[in-house]
Structure 1
């Protein structure tokens, strides 16, 4: 074998790997976090979570920690992304008090965790269920530090599966649900409400890459897809909204009529191309498509149908070359971002939860 042949084989092998292979973290039943190597296409480690079943994951803005919430004992576990180990863990539940929450976001210092809580108090013969409340968890004392009940008009807007973002100075919490709520972190009171809705539907949820095109790629900004209705005949439109997390301002650019449901926006590292997943119809008539968008023109430039799952999540590799369909299953379907065609299927060996996926380098 000549040197030229060896070099050609080596380059061919390198070309088959992701240009910037990442490590993917995914929740799985009953109490594990899978550590998946993109380059190897395999699970390389499984972390057991002492507090139970993972329901959400949030990557810190510096990419050093993953905050995992669990439902079994209402816990929070912090994963060190460098060592791939659990750095800290605790449960909010005790003998007479239980909490229910789903997701949240840490402050810039990592001391406090903001979320939406419901409190359950055990009495002699019954549990007393509290009202939904904005909550602050002290990560040092491992206790709920503050709770303020939601105003009645915000009970539907601040849903359990809302997305959360915090302003860089930690003064405002943004809650993206049926409306966009802006909460003052000092008082835990809503100071503004914006009539834009996240377009996710049942069985189609956002993915936790630290957010779509968020503060990691564009400091101080959150960019994603939203639905809005025109003020005259109230037709729903979907479009791209860019939020400035510092001054609470936003710009919304309509793109077209809103489909039944859409996944969160996934943006390539250069910020030029973006992808989402759209579903129309239900059960036997359900139709799933990839939509490829140009970020400069905010226009849909390509579409491709793919086989639907009853429930699934959508993600993208860190280099923007691959699209992932996964969740409520034992595998990840890998699609080429340029052709929108299926390339391969990666076996996980575990049934994944709705906690989503976090990718780190």
Structure 2
């Protein structure tokens, strides 16, 4: 039986491929020795230690600062409420106005309170006259001591009624409890206020507070009375002092509440502005290192690599104090350090290196 030409062509191709792989296997038997010989020839002498660039970083004593994000806040904020019932007859202060302590914010209609006061005065006068008569008759023996004491009690009750009527009239004036800003007025003329209903809100912004939350890692360094500065979102920089650091952490954020107080005599700084607090926390050793020198170790800690005396690489975890245009001020290093500035990401701890001066 004769094969068709196309089948013969396929058989030829398959045979050629099989021959190629058989020949390749036979020729590769002596290759390993030749390859090793070539590798040994090309390698030449053993490679030396890795080369890195390093720079000597001195240790300096630098003031420590803790930076906390926060916001400005009124020192006090009080909703001023009515002590009695009545219709607002006057609202003499516009909201947003500076007010002094005792200034009237809302005035209720007096109504029958004045009549009650007049009646109490009349009763007091009557009791005074009656008591005078009792005293004169007692001298003549026409009044017993008990009657004299009863008359004095009646007079005292009349005087107390006068005082109560005076207080009731005084309560129609709803006054500012302290010097500050009448920030929001709720009641307008004609509004009926029951006892406890608000006239408006008074806030104190001189002095002003800057509040924030400090992480638990920095809480121990915060001291009441420490000097601090606040950089506001508006660009202003104000100085003040820490007045309060909480002793109990927030259970969810594990942070401690902190308050800074600063003067605001012109009332030009408003409550609620974003601020960045820079709080003094003593002084101590620090090193200024380039940002590019910072690396992470296998545990994910941020730090730097440096060269010790025998030319080997060491790693030190660091804490960042402040970032500047010249570099980063860090803690965690001791004394002058031969800091690796080039090649720090390509060497391992304990590795022997050749050091070249940083350019």
Same fold (TM over 0.5): no
Query: Which of structures 1 and 2 has the bigger CA Rg?
Result: 2
TM-score (norm 2): 0.15
Higher strand share: 1
Structure with bigger RCO (C-alpha 8 Å, 6+ apart): 2
Higher helix share: 2
